[in-house]
Structure 1
Amino acid sequence: MNKKVKYIDWGLTDYKEAWDKQEAIFNETVALKTKNRTENTALETPNYLIFNEHPHVYTLGKSGKPENLLLNEQGLKDKEATYYKINRGGDITYHGPGQIVGYPILDLDNFFTDIHLYLRTLEEAIILTLADYGIESGRYEGFTGVWLDADNDKARKICAMGVRCSRWVTMHGFAFNVNTNLDYFKNIVPCGIDDKDVTSMQRELGYVLNMEEVKQKLKGHIANLFQMSII
Protein backbone atom coordinates (compact mmCIF):
# COMPACT_ATOMS: atom_id res chain seq x y z
CA MET A 1 0.00 0.00 0.00
CA ASN A 2 1.27 3.44 -0.96
CA LYS A 3 0.71 5.91 1.87
CA LYS A 4 2.71 8.71 0.25
CA VAL A 5 0.47 11.67 -0.60
CA LYS A 6 1.45 14.58 -2.82
CA TYR A 7 0.28 17.89 -1.36
CA ILE A 8 -0.60 20.67 -3.82
CA ASP A 9 -1.98 24.14 -3.16
CA TRP A 10 -3.67 25.46 -6.30
CA GLY A 11 -4.36 28.84 -4.70
CA LEU A 12 -7.35 30.80 -6.02
CA THR A 13 -8.59 28.67 -8.92
CA ASP A 14 -11.66 28.86 -11.15
CA TYR A 15 -14.06 26.10 -10.08
CA LYS A 16 -14.47 24.49 -13.51
CA GLU A 17 -10.71 24.50 -14.04
CA ALA A 18 -10.18 22.78 -10.69
CA TRP A 19 -12.97 20.28 -11.41
CA ASP A 20 -11.41 19.37 -14.77
CA LYS A 21 -7.99 18.93 -13.17
CA GLN A 22 -9.50 16.74 -10.45
CA GLU A 23 -11.29 14.60 -13.04
CA ALA A 24 -8.05 14.07 -14.96
CA ILE A 25 -6.17 12.87 -11.87
CA PHE A 26 -9.13 10.76 -10.74
CA ASN A 27 -9.52 9.09 -14.15
CA GLU A 28 -5.79 8.34 -14.40
CA THR A 29 -5.86 6.63 -11.00
CA VAL A 30 -8.98 4.60 -11.83
CA ALA A 31 -7.40 3.57 -15.15
CA LEU A 32 -4.26 2.44 -13.34
CA LYS A 33 -6.33 0.33 -10.94
CA THR A 34 -8.21 -1.18 -13.86
CA LYS A 35 -4.92 -2.07 -15.56
CA ASN A 36 -3.68 -3.74 -12.37
CA ARG A 37 -6.84 -5.82 -12.21
CA THR A 38 -7.13 -6.79 -15.88
CA GLU A 39 -3.44 -7.28 -16.63
CA ASN A 40 -2.43 -8.67 -13.24
CA THR A 41 0.10 -5.89 -12.70
CA ALA A 42 0.99 -4.27 -9.38
CA LEU A 43 1.61 -0.66 -10.32
CA GLU A 44 1.62 1.79 -7.42
CA THR A 45 -1.40 4.11 -7.34
CA PRO A 46 -0.79 7.77 -6.44
CA ASN A 47 -2.55 9.87 -3.79
CA TYR A 48 -3.09 13.62 -3.72
CA LEU A 49 -4.21 16.18 -1.15
CA ILE A 50 -5.17 19.38 -2.93
CA PHE A 51 -6.12 22.64 -1.21
CA ASN A 52 -7.49 25.66 -3.03
CA GLU A 53 -9.89 28.58 -2.87
CA HIS A 54 -12.46 29.46 -5.53
CA PRO A 55 -14.00 32.66 -6.82
CA HIS A 56 -17.68 32.89 -5.78
CA VAL A 57 -19.46 29.74 -6.97
CA TYR A 58 -22.46 27.60 -6.03
CA THR A 59 -22.32 23.84 -6.66
CA LEU A 60 -25.22 21.39 -6.62
CA GLY A 61 -24.59 17.72 -5.84
CA LYS A 62 -26.30 14.74 -7.44
CA SER A 63 -28.97 14.49 -4.74
CA GLY A 64 -29.56 18.24 -4.53
CA LYS A 65 -32.63 20.25 -5.45
CA PRO A 66 -32.13 23.08 -7.98
CA GLU A 67 -34.70 25.21 -6.12
CA ASN A 68 -32.25 25.43 -3.21
CA LEU A 69 -30.44 28.06 -5.29
CA LEU A 70 -32.36 31.24 -4.53
CA LEU A 71 -30.83 33.30 -7.36
CA ASN A 72 -31.79 33.51 -11.02
CA GLU A 73 -29.26 34.03 -13.81
CA GLN A 74 -29.24 37.80 -13.34
CA GLY A 75 -28.87 37.38 -9.58
CA LEU A 76 -25.78 35.25 -10.12
CA LYS A 77 -24.29 37.93 -12.36
CA ASP A 78 -25.05 40.60 -9.78
CA LYS A 79 -23.20 38.55 -7.15
CA GLU A 80 -20.35 37.82 -9.59
CA ALA A 81 -20.97 34.12 -8.92
CA THR A 82 -21.18 31.01 -11.09
CA TYR A 83 -23.25 27.86 -10.68
CA TYR A 84 -22.52 24.22 -11.53
CA LYS A 85 -24.34 20.91 -11.19
CA ILE A 86 -21.62 18.43 -10.28
CA ASN A 87 -21.01 14.72 -9.67
CA ARG A 88 -20.43 14.65 -5.91
CA GLY A 89 -22.89 13.62 -3.25
CA GLY A 90 -24.86 16.13 -1.20
CA ASP A 91 -26.98 19.17 -1.98
CA ILE A 92 -26.02 22.78 -2.73
CA THR A 93 -23.15 24.68 -1.18
CA TYR A 94 -21.09 27.81 -1.70
CA HIS A 95 -17.36 28.18 -2.33
CA GLY A 96 -15.48 31.44 -2.22
CA PRO A 97 -12.36 33.30 -1.11
CA GLY A 98 -11.39 32.74 2.52
CA GLN A 99 -12.60 29.14 2.44
CA ILE A 100 -10.28 26.13 2.36
CA VAL A 101 -11.65 23.74 -0.25
CA GLY A 102 -9.95 20.37 0.09
CA TYR A 103 -9.79 17.74 -2.62
CA PRO A 104 -8.24 14.49 -1.38
CA ILE A 105 -7.83 12.26 -4.43
CA LEU A 106 -6.91 9.06 -2.66
CA ASP A 107 -6.91 5.39 -3.54
CA LEU A 108 -8.58 4.14 -0.38
CA ASP A 109 -7.11 0.69 -1.05
CA ASN A 110 -3.93 2.34 0.23
CA PHE A 111 -5.65 3.27 3.51
CA PHE A 112 -9.03 1.67 4.32
CA THR A 113 -12.02 0.77 2.17
CA ASP A 114 -14.81 2.35 4.19
CA ILE A 115 -16.42 5.51 2.80
CA HIS A 116 -18.18 6.32 6.08
CA LEU A 117 -14.91 6.06 7.99
CA TYR A 118 -13.33 8.23 5.29
CA LEU A 119 -15.89 11.00 5.86
CA ARG A 120 -15.65 10.72 9.65
CA THR A 121 -11.84 10.94 9.43
CA LEU A 122 -11.99 14.12 7.34
CA GLU A 123 -14.47 15.55 9.84
CA GLU A 124 -12.11 14.69 12.68
CA ALA A 125 -9.27 16.56 11.01
CA ILE A 126 -11.46 19.69 10.86
CA ILE A 127 -12.55 19.21 14.49
CA LEU A 128 -8.93 18.96 15.64
CA THR A 129 -7.94 22.02 13.61
CA LEU A 130 -10.73 24.05 15.20
CA ALA A 131 -9.65 22.84 18.63
CA ASP A 132 -6.18 24.25 17.91
CA TYR A 133 -7.87 27.67 17.94
CA GLY A 134 -10.06 27.00 20.96
CA ILE A 135 -13.23 26.34 18.98
CA GLU A 136 -15.23 23.35 20.21
CA SER A 137 -16.98 21.52 17.40
CA GLY A 138 -18.38 18.11 16.55
CA ARG A 139 -20.84 16.16 14.45
CA TYR A 140 -24.58 16.54 14.05
CA GLU A 141 -26.36 13.19 13.98
CA GLY A 142 -27.95 12.56 10.61
CA PHE A 143 -25.79 15.13 8.78
CA THR A 144 -22.28 15.18 7.36
CA GLY A 145 -19.81 17.96 8.01
CA VAL A 146 -18.62 19.74 11.13
CA TRP A 147 -20.90 21.75 13.41
CA LEU A 148 -20.79 24.03 16.42
CA ASP A 149 -23.41 23.66 19.18
CA ALA A 150 -24.93 20.68 17.39
CA ASP A 151 -26.78 19.68 20.55
CA ASN A 152 -28.94 22.82 20.80
CA ASP A 153 -30.90 25.41 18.82
CA LYS A 154 -27.73 27.43 18.09
CA ALA A 155 -26.39 24.70 15.78
CA ARG A 156 -24.31 26.14 12.94
CA LYS A 157 -22.22 24.50 10.26
CA ILE A 158 -18.60 25.44 9.69
CA CYS A 159 -17.51 22.74 7.22
CA ALA A 160 -19.53 21.05 4.46
CA MET A 161 -18.60 17.77 2.78
CA GLY A 162 -19.47 16.04 -0.45
CA VAL A 163 -17.44 13.32 -2.11
CA ARG A 164 -17.41 11.02 -5.09
CA CYS A 165 -15.90 7.55 -4.86
CA SER A 166 -15.43 4.99 -7.63
CA ARG A 167 -13.30 1.83 -7.36
CA TRP A 168 -12.28 3.23 -3.96
CA VAL A 169 -10.76 6.34 -5.56
CA THR A 170 -12.07 9.59 -4.07
CA MET A 171 -12.55 13.11 -5.39
CA HIS A 172 -14.25 16.34 -4.29
CA GLY A 173 -14.10 16.68 -0.49
CA PHE A 174 -14.75 19.50 1.97
CA ALA A 175 -15.34 23.25 2.23
CA PHE A 176 -14.02 24.73 5.48
CA ASN A 177 -15.13 28.27 6.31
CA VAL A 178 -12.16 30.21 7.64
CA ASN A 179 -12.49 33.86 6.54
CA THR A 180 -15.50 33.22 4.29
CA ASN A 181 -18.02 35.94 3.36
CA LEU A 182 -21.07 34.31 4.92
CA ASP A 183 -23.51 36.65 3.14
CA TYR A 184 -23.24 34.41 0.08
CA PHE A 185 -24.92 31.58 1.98
CA LYS A 186 -28.08 33.71 2.15
CA ASN A 187 -28.61 33.01 -1.55
CA ILE A 188 -29.03 29.24 -1.09
CA VAL A 189 -30.57 26.70 1.26
CA PRO A 190 -27.16 25.40 2.41
CA CYS A 191 -26.90 21.63 1.99
CA GLY A 192 -30.70 21.64 1.72
CA ILE A 193 -31.03 22.54 5.42
CA ASP A 194 -33.29 25.57 5.84
CA ASP A 195 -33.37 25.92 9.64
CA LYS A 196 -29.68 25.95 10.59
CA ASP A 197 -27.05 28.68 10.48
CA VAL A 198 -23.63 28.70 8.80
CA THR A 199 -20.52 30.12 10.46
CA SER A 200 -16.78 30.62 9.96
CA MET A 201 -13.66 30.74 12.11
CA GLN A 202 -13.50 34.50 11.60
CA ARG A 203 -17.05 34.96 12.86
CA GLU A 204 -16.47 32.74 15.89
CA LEU A 205 -13.11 34.27 16.88
CA GLY A 206 -13.70 37.86 15.83
CA TYR A 207 -10.54 38.26 13.75
CA VAL A 208 -9.13 37.34 10.35
CA LEU A 209 -7.19 34.09 10.38
CA ASN A 210 -3.87 33.42 8.66
CA MET A 211 -5.01 31.05 5.91
CA GLU A 212 -1.60 29.46 5.42
CA GLU A 213 -1.33 28.70 9.13
CA VAL A 214 -4.76 27.04 9.17
CA LYS A 215 -3.87 25.01 6.07
CA GLN A 216 -0.68 23.72 7.67
CA LYS A 217 -2.48 22.66 10.85
CA LEU A 218 -5.24 20.97 8.86
CA LYS A 219 -2.77 19.21 6.57
CA GLY A 220 -0.93 17.88 9.63
CA HIS A 221 -4.09 16.48 11.20
CA ILE A 222 -5.14 14.80 7.94
CA ALA A 223 -1.70 13.24 7.62
CA ASN A 224 -1.73 11.92 11.20
CA LEU A 225 -5.28 10.54 11.07
CA PHE A 226 -4.77 8.73 7.76
CA GLN A 227 -1.21 7.72 8.70
CA MET A 228 -0.02 9.17 5.41
CA SER A 229 3.34 10.62 4.45
CA ILE A 230 2.95 14.05 2.84
CA ILE A 231 5.41 14.73 0.02
Structure 2
Amino acid sequence: MPRSPAAPSPVADGIMPEWRLSPGLTPYDEALAAMEARATAIAARQADELIWLLEHPSVYTAGTSADPAELVDPRFPVVPAGRGGRYTYHGPGQRVGYTMLDLNMRGRDVRCFVHALEGWVIAALEQVGLSSFRAPGRVGIWTHDAAGREAKIGAIGVRVRRWVTLHGFSVNVAPDMSHFGGIVPCGLPDYPVTSLAALNHGTDMETFDAALALTRRGFLESLSCNRQNGT
Protein backbone atom coordinates (compact mmCIF):
# COMPACT_ATOMS: atom_id res chain seq x y z
CA MET A 1 0.00 0.00 0.00
CA PRO A 2 1.45 3.43 -0.91
CA ARG A 3 2.56 5.69 1.91
CA SER A 4 1.31 9.24 2.13
CA PRO A 5 3.94 12.02 2.12
CA ALA A 6 3.25 12.54 5.83
CA ALA A 7 3.99 8.92 6.78
CA PRO A 8 6.11 8.58 9.96
CA SER A 9 9.45 6.83 10.20
CA PRO A 10 9.18 3.06 9.57
CA VAL A 11 11.65 2.52 12.40
CA ALA A 12 9.74 4.72 14.82
CA ASP A 13 6.35 3.11 14.23
CA GLY A 14 7.48 -0.45 13.59
CA ILE A 15 6.52 -0.65 9.91
CA MET A 16 8.44 -3.43 8.17
CA PRO A 17 9.33 -3.26 4.48
CA GLU A 18 7.42 -5.48 2.09
CA TRP A 19 9.05 -8.93 2.00
CA ARG A 20 8.98 -10.51 -1.46
CA LEU A 21 10.29 -13.92 -2.50
CA SER A 22 10.27 -14.62 -6.23
CA PRO A 23 10.23 -18.30 -7.26
CA GLY A 24 12.28 -19.60 -10.16
CA LEU A 25 14.84 -17.48 -12.01
CA THR A 26 14.29 -13.78 -12.62
CA PRO A 27 16.23 -12.32 -15.60
CA TYR A 28 18.70 -9.74 -14.33
CA ASP A 29 17.63 -6.94 -16.67
CA GLU A 30 13.99 -7.37 -15.64
CA ALA A 31 14.91 -7.27 -11.96
CA LEU A 32 17.08 -4.20 -12.48
CA ALA A 33 14.24 -2.32 -14.21
CA ALA A 34 11.76 -3.30 -11.49
CA MET A 35 14.17 -2.29 -8.75
CA GLU A 36 14.85 1.11 -10.35
CA ALA A 37 11.14 1.77 -10.72
CA ARG A 38 10.40 0.79 -7.13
CA ALA A 39 13.21 2.96 -5.76
CA THR A 40 11.87 5.94 -7.72
CA ALA A 41 8.40 5.35 -6.30
CA ILE A 42 9.76 5.03 -2.75
CA ALA A 43 11.64 8.32 -3.10
CA ALA A 44 8.38 9.96 -4.24
CA ARG A 45 6.52 8.41 -1.26
CA GLN A 46 4.33 6.46 -3.69
CA ALA A 47 5.37 2.95 -2.60
CA ASP A 48 6.53 1.08 0.48
CA GLU A 49 10.07 -0.07 1.04
CA LEU A 50 10.90 -3.53 -0.27
CA ILE A 51 13.24 -6.40 0.53
CA TRP A 52 13.25 -8.74 -2.46
CA LEU A 53 14.78 -12.22 -2.49
CA LEU A 54 15.37 -13.90 -5.84
CA GLU A 55 17.70 -15.94 -8.05
CA HIS A 56 19.00 -15.01 -11.48
CA PRO A 57 19.98 -17.01 -14.55
CA SER A 58 23.77 -17.02 -14.92
CA VAL A 59 25.05 -13.51 -15.55
CA TYR A 60 28.09 -11.36 -14.87
CA THR A 61 27.29 -7.88 -13.58
CA ALA A 62 29.64 -4.92 -13.81
CA GLY A 63 29.79 -2.35 -11.06
CA THR A 64 30.90 1.23 -11.55
CA SER A 65 34.55 0.31 -10.77
CA ALA A 66 34.68 -2.76 -13.04
CA ASP A 67 38.02 -3.27 -14.79
CA PRO A 68 37.67 -4.94 -18.23
CA ALA A 69 40.91 -6.84 -17.55
CA GLU A 70 39.04 -8.73 -14.81
CA LEU A 71 36.50 -10.12 -17.29
CA VAL A 72 38.53 -13.26 -17.98
CA ASP A 73 36.04 -15.47 -19.81
CA PRO A 74 32.64 -13.84 -20.55
CA ARG A 75 30.76 -17.10 -21.01
CA PHE A 76 27.55 -15.51 -19.76
CA PRO A 77 25.90 -12.15 -20.53
CA VAL A 78 27.64 -9.14 -19.01
CA VAL A 79 25.28 -6.42 -17.74
CA PRO A 80 26.19 -2.98 -16.34
CA ALA A 81 24.58 -2.89 -12.91
CA GLY A 82 24.94 0.75 -11.82
CA ARG A 83 25.96 -0.35 -8.31
CA GLY A 84 29.31 0.17 -6.66
CA GLY A 85 32.04 -2.44 -6.94
CA ARG A 86 33.52 -4.50 -9.76
CA TYR A 87 32.48 -7.69 -11.53
CA THR A 88 30.40 -10.28 -9.78
CA TYR A 89 28.52 -13.42 -10.77
CA HIS A 90 24.86 -14.23 -10.17
CA GLY A 91 23.27 -17.55 -10.96
CA PRO A 92 21.06 -20.44 -9.85
CA GLY A 93 21.77 -21.58 -6.32
CA GLN A 94 22.79 -18.12 -5.17
CA ARG A 95 20.46 -16.11 -2.94
CA VAL A 96 20.28 -12.50 -4.06
CA GLY A 97 18.68 -9.93 -1.79
CA TYR A 98 17.72 -6.48 -3.06
CA THR A 99 16.99 -3.86 -0.42
CA MET A 100 15.02 -0.77 -1.40
CA LEU A 101 15.03 1.24 1.81
CA ASP A 102 14.48 4.93 2.48
CA LEU A 103 17.53 6.27 4.30
CA ASN A 104 15.80 9.63 4.63
CA MET A 105 13.88 7.94 7.44
CA ARG A 106 16.40 5.32 8.54
CA GLY A 107 19.52 7.50 8.67
CA ARG A 108 21.53 9.10 5.88
CA ASP A 109 24.65 7.08 6.52
CA VAL A 110 25.79 4.84 3.67
CA ARG A 111 28.67 3.37 5.64
CA CYS A 112 26.28 2.39 8.43
CA PHE A 113 23.93 0.84 5.86
CA VAL A 114 26.65 -1.33 4.29
CA HIS A 115 27.89 -2.39 7.74
CA ALA A 116 24.34 -3.30 8.76
CA LEU A 117 23.80 -5.27 5.56
CA GLU A 118 26.94 -7.28 6.21
CA GLY A 119 25.82 -7.84 9.78
CA TRP A 120 22.45 -9.13 8.62
CA VAL A 121 24.01 -11.77 6.39
CA ILE A 122 26.49 -12.77 9.10
CA ALA A 123 23.61 -13.17 11.57
CA ALA A 124 21.60 -15.27 9.08
CA LEU A 125 24.59 -17.53 8.41
CA GLU A 126 25.06 -17.91 12.15
CA GLN A 127 21.42 -19.02 12.39
CA VAL A 128 22.19 -21.93 10.05
CA GLY A 129 25.38 -22.77 11.92
CA LEU A 130 28.09 -21.18 9.77
CA SER A 131 30.58 -18.76 11.28
CA SER A 132 31.38 -15.79 9.04
CA PHE A 133 32.92 -12.37 9.49
CA ARG A 134 33.85 -8.99 8.06
CA ALA A 135 37.40 -8.48 6.78
CA PRO A 136 39.03 -5.04 7.17
CA GLY A 137 39.38 -3.33 3.80
CA ARG A 138 37.31 -5.97 1.97
CA VAL A 139 33.58 -5.38 1.69
CA GLY A 140 31.55 -8.56 1.86
CA ILE A 141 31.05 -11.63 4.01
CA TRP A 142 33.92 -14.01 4.65
CA THR A 143 34.43 -17.45 6.11
CA HIS A 144 37.11 -20.15 5.96
CA ASP A 145 37.13 -22.77 3.23
CA ALA A 146 38.06 -26.42 3.62
CA ALA A 147 41.74 -25.51 3.35
CA GLY A 148 41.46 -22.92 6.11
CA ARG A 149 41.82 -19.95 3.74
CA GLU A 150 39.74 -16.81 4.07
CA ALA A 151 37.10 -17.19 1.37
CA LYS A 152 34.24 -14.98 0.27
CA ILE A 153 30.79 -16.48 0.69
CA GLY A 154 28.73 -13.30 0.26
CA ALA A 155 29.08 -10.12 -1.76
CA ILE A 156 27.73 -6.63 -1.07
CA GLY A 157 27.04 -4.08 -3.78
CA VAL A 158 24.82 -1.04 -3.28
CA ARG A 159 23.71 2.16 -4.88
CA VAL A 160 21.98 5.05 -3.15
CA ARG A 161 19.81 7.44 -5.16
CA ARG A 162 17.89 10.27 -3.50
CA TRP A 163 18.77 8.45 -0.26
CA VAL A 164 16.90 5.32 -1.35
CA THR A 165 19.03 2.18 -1.51
CA LEU A 166 19.22 -0.20 -4.47
CA HIS A 167 20.88 -3.60 -4.98
CA GLY A 168 22.09 -5.35 -1.81
CA PHE A 169 23.76 -8.72 -1.21
CA SER A 170 24.32 -12.16 -2.68
CA VAL A 171 25.13 -15.33 -0.76
CA ASN A 172 26.47 -18.52 -2.31
CA VAL A 173 24.19 -21.29 -1.12
CA ALA A 174 24.77 -23.90 -3.82
CA PRO A 175 25.74 -22.27 -7.14
CA ASP A 176 28.06 -23.84 -9.73
CA MET A 177 31.33 -22.45 -8.37
CA SER A 178 33.13 -22.96 -11.70
CA HIS A 179 31.09 -20.06 -13.08
CA PHE A 180 33.08 -17.62 -10.96
CA GLY A 181 36.09 -18.53 -13.11
CA GLY A 182 34.95 -16.18 -15.87
CA ILE A 183 35.81 -13.10 -13.77
CA VAL A 184 38.07 -11.93 -11.01
CA PRO A 185 35.29 -11.86 -8.39
CA CYS A 186 34.99 -8.38 -6.87
CA GLY A 187 38.53 -7.63 -8.09
CA LEU A 188 40.17 -9.81 -5.42
CA PRO A 189 42.40 -12.36 -7.19
CA ASP A 190 44.15 -13.49 -4.02
CA TYR A 191 41.05 -14.78 -2.26
CA PRO A 192 38.85 -17.74 -3.23
CA VAL A 193 35.07 -17.82 -3.23
CA THR A 194 33.11 -20.56 -1.53
CA SER A 195 29.53 -21.64 -0.82
CA LEU A 196 27.53 -23.45 1.81
CA ALA A 197 27.44 -26.49 -0.48
CA ALA A 198 31.20 -26.37 -1.11
CA LEU A 199 31.68 -26.41 2.66
CA ASN A 200 29.41 -29.49 2.88
CA HIS A 201 27.14 -27.47 5.09
CA GLY A 202 23.86 -28.92 3.86
CA THR A 203 21.73 -25.77 4.20
CA ASP A 204 19.19 -25.38 1.41
CA MET A 205 17.73 -22.15 0.04
CA GLU A 206 14.47 -22.42 1.97
CA THR A 207 16.32 -22.80 5.28
CA PHE A 208 18.60 -19.86 4.53
CA ASP A 209 15.63 -17.70 3.54
CA ALA A 210 14.00 -18.50 6.87
CA ALA A 211 17.20 -17.40 8.63
CA LEU A 212 17.17 -14.10 6.70
CA ALA A 213 13.56 -13.53 7.68
CA LEU A 214 14.29 -14.27 11.32
CA THR A 215 17.20 -11.81 11.49
CA ARG A 216 15.85 -8.98 9.31
CA ARG A 217 14.43 -6.97 12.24
CA GLY A 218 17.87 -6.77 13.80
CA PHE A 219 19.22 -5.44 10.50
CA LEU A 220 16.56 -2.73 10.33
CA GLU A 221 16.98 -1.79 13.97
CA SER A 222 20.73 -1.43 13.48
CA LEU A 223 20.00 1.41 11.05
CA SER A 224 17.86 3.32 13.54
CA CYS A 225 20.88 4.35 15.62
CA ASN A 226 21.85 6.74 12.83
CA ARG A 227 18.52 8.44 12.29
CA GLN A 228 20.02 11.58 13.78
CA ASN A 229 22.06 11.83 10.57
CA GLY A 230 18.86 12.11 8.51
CA THR A 231 16.88 15.14 7.51
TM-score, normalised to structure 1, is 0.84
CA distance in 1, matches of 2:219, 2:80: 31
SS in 1 for 2:35: helix
Shift of residue 153 of structure 1?
7.3
* Alignment partner, residue 132 of structure 1: 127
Residues 75-100 of structure 1: per-residue CA shift (max 9 Å, x gap): x2xxxx21111210000000001111
Q: Give the 3 Å change call, closer, same or farther, for CA 26–44 of structure 1 in structure 2.
A: closer
SS in 2 for 1:62: coil
* Alignment partner, residue 6 of structure 1: 18
Residues 125-164 of structure 1: per-residue CA shift (max 9 Å, x gap): 11111112322110111011100149x9711000001100
Aligned pair count? 208
Structure 2 unaligned segments of length 5 or more: list them: 1-8, 223-231
The within-5 A match list for 1:46-195 is 46-72=48-74, 76=75, 81-149=76-144, 154-195=149-190
Which of 207, 211, 221 is equivalent to 1:217?
Answer: 211
Residues 15-72 of structure 1: per-residue CA shift (max 9 Å, x gap): 0010011011112222x1xxxxxxxxxx576210000000000001001112211125
Contact in 1 for aligned 2:59/2:89 (Cα 8 Å): yes
CA distance in 2, matches of 1:225, 1:206: 24
CA distance in 1, matches of 2:113, 2:61: 22
TM-score, normalised to structure 2, is 0.84
Q: Give the 3 Å change call, closer, same or farther, for CA 44–55 of structure 1 in structure 2.
A: closer
* Alignment partner, residue 20 of structure 1: 33
Contact in 2 for aligned 1:122/1:222 (Cα 8 Å): no
- Is the helix fraction higher in 1 or 2? 1
Q: Partner amino acid for 2:30?
A: E
1:197 paired with 2:192, answer yes
Q: Structure 1 segments of 4 or more deviating over 3 A?
A: none
Contact in 2 for aligned 1:164/1:170 (Cα 8 Å): yes
CA distance in 2, matches of 1:61, 1:17: 17
* Alignment partner, residue 40 of structure 1: none
Shift of residue 206 of structure 1?
4.5
- Identity %, equivalent residues: 35
CA distance in 2, matches of 1:170, 1:105: 5
CA distance in 1, matches of 2:210, 2:105: 23
Moved more, 60-69 or 190-199: 60-69
Contact in 2 for aligned 1:88/1:162 (Cα 8 Å): yes
Q: Partner amino acid for 2:131?
A: E
SS in 1 for 2:178: helix
Contact in 2 for aligned 1:163/1:173 (Cα 8 Å): yes
CA distance in 1, matches of 2:209, 2:29: 22
CA distance in 1, matches of 2:196, 2:204: 11
